[in-house]
């Protein structure tokens, strides 16, 4: 299934476009040539990419199209294909069963501004310590 990311952090994409004359993988504004096989399937690979999320598209004879095997993400004012280059420290980003605090919203009247204001109170999961910050309504 495409797109793929190999161990060298290169992105590989493929699309069937038997009548196309030129196809590119456009990843981060850099266009990589793709090659057509005897079945009309174009495949191409990028240079190694930085870790993290990247938008990409395929350019078929000048028309930019999303990758058929990708989810679509909204960014840069439009929908597009995206791919994640895994990080070396993936465990850091993994969901873990850790204690969580509580954020509460309180509305109060401020004599200083003569208006109602909104206050968020964070109560950490340890010793009942409280951190408070204010936000204008």
- Strands 78-85 and 102-110, by their bridges, are unpaired
Average pLDDT over residues 2-20: 96
- Strands 131-135 and 35-36, by their bridges, are unpaired
Question: Quick check: 69 and 3 in contact, CB under 8 A?
Answer: yes
Domains of the chain with bracketed CATH: 4-93 (2.60.40.10), 102-135 (no CATH)
- Distance from C-alpha of 21 to C-alpha of 75, rounded to nearest angstrom: 29
pLDDT confidence of residue 131 = 55
Q: Is 0.85 topped by the overall pTM?
A: no
14 closest CA partner among 65, 53, 55, 49: 65
Confidence of residue 81 (pLDDT cuts 50, 70, 90): very high
């Amino acid at each position: 299934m495409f797109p793929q990311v190999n161990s060298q952090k290169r992105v590989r994409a493929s699309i069937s476009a038997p009548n196309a004359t030129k196809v590119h993988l456009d990843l981060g504004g850099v266009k990589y040539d793709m090659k057509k096989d005897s079945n009309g399937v174009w495949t191409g690979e990028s240079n190694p990419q930085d870790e993290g999320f990247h938008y990409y598209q395929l350019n078929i004879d000048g028309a930019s199209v999303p990758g058929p095997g990708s989810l679509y993400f909204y960014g840069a004012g439009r929908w597009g294909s995206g791919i994640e280059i895994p990080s070396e420290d993936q465990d850091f980003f993994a969901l873990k069963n850790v204690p969580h605090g509580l954020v509460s919203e309180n509305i109060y009247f401020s004599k200083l501004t003569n208006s109602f204001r909104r206050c968020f109170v964070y109560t950490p999961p340890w010793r009942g310590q409280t951190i408070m910050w204010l936000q204008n309504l």
